[in-house]
């Protein structure tokens, strides 16, 4: 299927997701479950974005029951290429197994068959769509996912029949059903070995890479942290324990506990479980998918259908939301303010003030999220401790609080309805529940006011632990370097203005920050992240940025000025970050507006031809093709070429980057608006383990 047809297909899938979302949200009694009947029993499923595919016998099918492929042997595994261009299947005919690749968009179009593999036993793709991993009796062989050329192999201590790669590409989990190895894919070493002693039915990594789950035949779900692969929690009563899948936010996990039942488990509160039953049976797989409105559905197979169920009742992952917002606020708070002297900065920002500010921000964010939960609570009064003079106040939606009440005033607390909670402040517990940390409790019967103050409680300490926050001295170093970047920017911008390349209507931004994370060995590292971006005011883009249909970097004064800042910085004062062999991740975002392309824009091949290149479109992994022969017919291609121009500039003009272990990722955005101010690029550089 050509690029235009594929875009129409994806648009249809997104439209279908939007359609479902609109109706699912309208009323409580509106249908929130959608059933796609199938002509054959789906034995297993996989997905690309929102769309589900399945296999049965010797055939594979799309959601509309249209056949995609037919093979001589029975399909035992089907894996969709994460960029959505193809799929791999493992088939078995008698004692012989084979692996083949098929077009996802054209029926019965086999793209490749691996003819020299010795009894393949398992398949999986890397999440970036670059590689296909095939397990054999002795090895795991890595193939380029587009050329099918072998690029690497690892010896295995067992015959792996199931494999999964973590979303960040750090880890490969492989099992023969009883033994389990976790591999560091970067250096091909074993991180962890398990002998489970019971059959492994399913395993999965969370989307944030923090948690690894293993589901075993004894009905137990086990979760492990991915820093050390230590056990976190065991959840029992999982029935037949057929399959598990993480919710995208990581708070919930689905478990197929039998062919007629799915459990959705809150990993922070194992007693919180929702069950989904189907009388037909036949369920082997269940997974979470997002529609075009970012609504989350659980989709699963039955003996006669594929079912999508809207999971709107699951509560948000408040701790994660709080943690993300807290990190953003603290990064801003710890920056040196304009006109703030170094002495003033050091007085304002130190370890003591940082700890206090973290607590204040945490409380502020949690209070906003809680939306004054006490007003929605059913309140009751519990026991009284005469020694401590503490009266228990219970809520049905939060933990109880203990109010200091003199013994002779306890009789005034006979009716909970007389209590009015003022100036409430909230926090979050470790199981993601809101709790009161401060309230002025007014007794309307007596007119007396009682203060509940637990603001000095042990808060979510992990939010400010050494693993989450950057040492203060590194933050201060980053602040100083950001000021240097600003000086370099001003120097380059002034030269560009004098040359009439740009004017005051182009605004270039540079900023940097340090991010604490872990590497593939589980060791704490600090990444140095530098962002370069620009905006051109409406009406000036044609002169200072990309004109309609233009994509070459040198045709944009704004882009060239931004890249000149990058070159001057990393060939000058920031050169120490450019180290041969060190990892550098370069995220390039190319943008285009919605101005229609009439006919075809010529492409002279200046950045080479690209066929099915993995790119991120609207945050989802997809692919794009741009060739000299076909030219440019889509705005996505224009945005991609603008991103490629940055790659070309960096490769040819910035000394040292080519000697680093560089990984380019392309993000493509096409805005709904029309106009030159929407045609631009920005670059994010991440120097891994920089300090």
Indicate whether 464 pLDDT > 80: no
Residue 78's closest CA among 60, 98, 95, 96? Answer: 60
Specify the 3-state DSSP secondary structure of 577.
Answer: helix
To the nearest whole number, what is the mean pLDDT of the chain?
91
Residue 413's closest CA among 390, 391, 437, 385? Answer: 391
When mean pLDDT is compared across 182-186, 309-313, 418-422, 469-473, the lowest value belongs to: 469-473
Strand partners, 516: 526
Q: Looking at residue 344, what is its pLDDT?
A: 92
Q: Looking at residue 4, what is its pLDDT?
A: 44
Average pLDDT rounded to a whole number, residues 530-539: 92
Q: Looking at residue 22, what is its pLDDT?
A: 39
Asked if 690 and 470 count as a contact pair (C-beta separation under 8 A), the reply is no
Q: What is the DSSP string of 51-93?
A: EEEEEETTEEE-TTS-EEEE-SSEEEEEEE-TTSSEEEEEEEE
Summarize pLDDT for 616-646 with one digit per residue, the tens. Answer: 998 899 999 999 999 999 999 999 999 999 9
State the span(s) of the chain assigned CATH 2.130.10.10.
3-315
* The pair of three-digit structure tokens given for residue 132, joined into one six-digit string: 């296909």
Give me the torsion for CA of 62, 64, 70, 75, rounded to 10°.
Answer: 50
For tokens 């010896």, the residue is 155
The CA radius of gyration of the chain, in Å to the nearest whole number, is 28
Q: Looking at residue 1, what is its pLDDT?
A: 46
Q: What is the DSSP string of 465-533?
A: STTTS--HHHHHHHHHHHHHHHHHHHHHHHHHHHTTS--TTEEEEEEEEEEEEE-TTS-EEEEEEEEEE
With a CB cutoff of 8 Å and minimum separation 6, the contacts of 22 are: none
Asked if 61 and 44 count as a contact pair (C-beta separation under 8 A), the reply is no
Q: Looking at residue 168, what is its pLDDT?
A: 96
When mean pLDDT is compared across 341-345, 487-491, 568-572, the lowest value belongs to: 341-345
Strands 305-310 and 296-301: what pairing?
antiparallel
For tokens 């019967």, the residue is 445
**Strand order in 231-235's β-sheet?**
200-205, 211-216, 220-225, 231-235
Summarize pLDDT for 543-561 with one digit per residue, the tens. Answer: 889 989 999 999 999 999 9
Topology (CATH) of 3-315: Methylamine Dehydrogenase; Chain H (2.130.10)
Q: How confident is the model at residue 542 (pLDDT cuts 50, 70, 90)?
A: confident
Indicate whether 463 pLDDT > 60: no
Indicate whether 8 pLDDT > 50: no
Q: Looking at residue 467, what is its pLDDT?
A: 56
Q: Give phi and psi for 594, each to the nearest 5.
A: -95, 15
Summarize pLDDT for 299-335 with one digit per residue, the tens. Answer: 999 999 999 999 999 999 999 999 999 989 998 999 8
Summarize pLDDT for 116-158 with one digit per residue, the tens. Answer: 898 999 999 999 999 999 999 889 999 999 999 999 999 999 9
When mean pLDDT is compared across 13-22, 341-350, 441-450, 575-584, the lowest value belongs to: 13-22
Is this structure's pTM higher than 0.95? no
Indicate whether 5 pLDDT > 70: no
Average pLDDT rounded to a whole number, residues 652-658: 92
Task: Measure CA 149 to chain center.
Answer: 29
Angle between helices 557-570 and 635-653 (to 10 degrees): 30
C-alpha–C-alpha distance, residues 676 and 593, integer Å: 7
Asked if 417 and 434 count as a contact pair (C-beta separation under 8 A), the reply is no
C-alpha–C-alpha distance, residues 172 and 161, integer Å: 13
Q: How confident is the model at residue 460 (pLDDT cuts 50, 70, 90)?
A: low
What is the enclosing helix (H) or strand (E) of 682?
Answer: strand 681-687
Q: How confident is the model at residue 11 (pLDDT cuts 50, 70, 90)?
A: very low
What is the enclosing helix (H) or strand (E) of 536?
Answer: strand 524-536
Q: How confident is the model at residue 472 (pLDDT cuts 50, 70, 90)?
A: confident
If one counts every other C-beta atom within 10 angstroms of the C-beta of residue 51, the result is: 22
Quick one: the chain helix, strand, coil %, rounded to 5?
25, 40, 40
What is the enclosing helix (H) or strand (E) of 318?
Answer: helix 318-333
Go through 464-494 and write b for each residue having 16 or more CB atoms within 10 A of its CB, e for each that does not: beeebbbeeeebbebbebbeebeebbeebbe
With a CB cutoff of 8 Å and minimum separation 6, the contacts of 469 are: 330, 358, 516
CA dihedral (141, 144, 147, 151) positive or negative? negative
Q: How confident is the model at residue 293 (pLDDT cuts 50, 70, 90)?
A: confident
Q: How confident is the model at residue 70 (pLDDT cuts 50, 70, 90)?
A: very high
């Amino acid at each position: 299927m050509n690029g235009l047809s594929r875009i129409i297909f994806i648009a249809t899938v997104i439209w279908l997701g939007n359609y479902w979302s609109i109706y699912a949200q309208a009323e409580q009694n509106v249908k929130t479950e959608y059933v796609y009947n199938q002509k054959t029993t789906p034995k297993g499923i996989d997905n690309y974005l929102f769309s589900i595919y399945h296999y049965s016998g010797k055939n594979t099918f799309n959601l509309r029951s249209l056949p995609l492929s037919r093979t001589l042997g029975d399909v035992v595994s089907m894996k969709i290429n994460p960029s959505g261009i193809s799929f791999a299947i493992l088939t078995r005919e008698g004692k012989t197994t084979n692996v083949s690749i098929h077009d996802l968009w054209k029926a019965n179009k086999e793209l490749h068959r691996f003819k020299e593999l010795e009894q393949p036993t398992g398949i999986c793709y890397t999440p970036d769509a670059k590689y296909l991993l095939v397990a054999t009796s002795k090895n795991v062989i890595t193939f380029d996912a587009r050329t099918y050329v072998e690029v690497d192999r690892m010896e295995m201590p067992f015959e792996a029949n199931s494999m999964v790669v973590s979303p960040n590409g750090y880890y490969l989990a492989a099992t023969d059903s009883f033994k389990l190895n976790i591999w560091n894919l970067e250096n091909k070493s074993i991180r962890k070995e398990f002998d489970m002693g019971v059959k492994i039915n399913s395993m999965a990594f969370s989307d944030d890479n923090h948690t690894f789950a293993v589901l075993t035949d004894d009905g137990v779900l086990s979760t492990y942290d991915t820093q050390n692969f230590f056990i976190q929690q065991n959840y029992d009563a999982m029935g037949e324990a057929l399959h598990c899948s993480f919710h995208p936010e990581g708070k919930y996990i689905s478990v197929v506990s039998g062919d007629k039942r799915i459990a959705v488990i809150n990993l922070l509160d194992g007693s919180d479980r929702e069950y989904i039953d189907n009388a037909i049976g036949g369920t082997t797989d269940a997974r979470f998918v997002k529609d075009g409105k970012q609504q989350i559905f659980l989709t699963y197979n039955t003996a006669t259908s594929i079912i999508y169920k809207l999971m709107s009742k699951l509560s948000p992952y408040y701790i994660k939301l709080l943690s993300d917002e807290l990190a953003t606020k603290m990064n801003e708070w710890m920056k040196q303010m304009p006109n703030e002297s170094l002495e003033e900065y050091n007085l304002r920002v130190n370890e003591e003030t940082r700890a206090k500010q973290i607590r204040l921000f945490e409380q502020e964010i949690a209070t906003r999220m809680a939306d004054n939960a006490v007003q929605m609570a059913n309140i009751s009064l519990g026991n009284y401790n005469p020694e401590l003079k503490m009266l228990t106040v219970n809520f049905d939606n939060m933990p109880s609080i203990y109010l200091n009440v003199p013994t002779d005033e306890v009789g005034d607390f006979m009716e909970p309805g007389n209590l009015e909670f003022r100036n409430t402040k909230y926090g979050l517990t470790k199981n993601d529940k809101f709790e009161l940390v401060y309230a002025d409790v007014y007794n309307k019967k007596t007119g007396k006011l009682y203060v509940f103050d637990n603001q000095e409680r042990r808060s979510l300490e992990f939010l400010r632990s050494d693993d989450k926050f950057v040492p203060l001295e590194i933050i201060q170093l980053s602040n100083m370097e950001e000021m240097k970047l600003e000086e370099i920017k001003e120097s380059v911008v002034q030269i560009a203005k004098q040359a009439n390349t740009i004017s005051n209507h182009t605004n270039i931004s540079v900023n940097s920050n340090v991010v604490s994370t872990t590497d593939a060995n589980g060791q704490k590292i600090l990444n140095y992240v530098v962002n370069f971006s620009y905006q051109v005011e409406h009406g000036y883009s044609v002169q200072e940025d990309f004109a309609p249909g233009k994509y070459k970097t040198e045709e944009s004064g704004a882009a060239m000025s931004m890249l000149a800042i990058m070159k001057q910085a990393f060939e000058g004062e920031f050169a120490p970050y450019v180290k041969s062999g060190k990892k550098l991740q370069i995220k390039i975002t190319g943008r285009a507006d919605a101005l229609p392309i009439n006919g075809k824009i010529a492409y002279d091949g200046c950045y080479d031809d690209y066929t099915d290149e993995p790119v991120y479109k609207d945050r989802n992994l997809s692919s794009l093709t741009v060739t000299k022969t076909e030219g440019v017919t889509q705005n996505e291609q224009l945005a991609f070429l603008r991103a490629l121009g940055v790659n070309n500039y960096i490769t040819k003009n910035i000394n040292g980057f080519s000697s680093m272990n560089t990984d380019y990722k392309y993000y493509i955005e096409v805005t709904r608006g029309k106009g030159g101010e929407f045609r631009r690029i920005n670059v994010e550089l991440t120097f891994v383990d920089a300090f």
